[in-house]
Structure 1
Amino acid sequence: MADPESIKKALQKEMSVYQTLQQELSKFVKTRTELSARANETDIVLEELKLLDDDANVFKSVGPVLVRQDLVEARSNVTNRLEFIKKDLERLDGQIKSLEGRMMEREKEMMKLQGKLRAAGGSGASA
């Protein structure tokens, strides 16, 4: 049987790795929320641009100045921006899924170590 102290140290190490993964997941989720909001806003802008007549005046903000922009160009720019945001969301979803998988592995490992610690006569709750 393994030494309870070495099991406790291994469990603490796993818990530390797990907490780091949780922090990383929290950052990814926050970023995803922000990107999702930007995607929604951009989608609304695109829908509004679709409602305009072809001869409508469209302006974009360039610093403190509003500059006239062609409606077709504006639609194209907003469509491209929306595509980029959606690609970023897909990439981020993949990273989140991968991170969640790594967290599940750490959870399983922590449970194994807690079982070994109990079997070795130590207290799993203290770690």
Structure 2
Amino acid sequence: MEMPENIQEQLNQFQQAQQQAQSIAMQKQNLTIQLNESKKALDELSKIEDDQDVFKTAGPLLIKTTKADSEADLKDSIEMLEIREKTINKQEKRINDKLEELQTSLQSAMTQLQQPQ
């Protein structure tokens, strides 16, 4: 039995939404790792004396900087990552809602398709 075109289109939309959900989940995971690393670095930075040498990476180089500059950079980075995290969470909610809607619609269409005419 061949599937009607509208059901095939819904199925394609569902598969695309699943791929988007996977992509968002990977982005969220990477973002969480970056955020945790930045928070850990800021915590470690707070443990050193103000006059101790601090180095940061710039590509393959280590550059000497001040503790205050490093703290400011890390705080800015954390703030940006947290904003990105909120955006990713909103995207994740939207795509999950869309997936639920598509799944319900597909199940209903398939049920109707299986009923005797």
Q: Same fold (TM over 0.5)?
A: yes
Q: Which residue of 1 aligns with 2:72?
A: 76
Name segments (4+ residues, structure 1) moved above 3 Å: none
Q: Which residue of 2 aligns with 1:96?
A: 92
1:66 deviation in Å? 2.1
The root-mean-square deviation of aligned C-alpha atoms, in Å, is: 1.6
Give deviations 1:35-63, integer Å, cap 9, x for gaps: 11011111110000010111111111223
1:120 deviation in Å? 4.2
Q: Which residue of 2 aligns with 1:67?
A: 63
**Distance between the aligned counterparts of 2:17 and 2:60, measured in 1?**
41
**Distance between the aligned counterparts of 1:15 and 1:109, measured in 2?**
10
Name stretches of at least 5 consecutive residues in structure 2 with no aligned partner.
none
Secondary structure of the corresponding residue to residue 64 of structure 2? strand
Equivalent pairs: percent with the same residue? Answer: 21
Query: Relative contact order (C-alpha < 8 Å, sep 6+): which is higher?
Result: 1
2:15 aligned residue (14, 19, 24): 19
**What is the aligned residue count?**
117
**Distance between the aligned counterparts of 1:115 and 1:107, measured in 2?**
12
1:115 deviation in Å? 1.8
Normalization by structure 1: what TM-score? 0.85
**Distance between the aligned counterparts of 1:33 and 1:27, measured in 2?**
10
**Distance between the aligned counterparts of 1:115 and 1:74, measured in 2?**
60
CA contact (8 A) 1:10 1:113 kept: no
Name stretches of at least 5 consecutive residues in structure 1 with no aligned partner.
122-127
Secondary structure of the corresponding residue to residue 30 of structure 1? helix
Normalization by structure 2: what TM-score? 0.92
**Distance between the aligned counterparts of 1:120 and 1:95, measured in 2?**
40
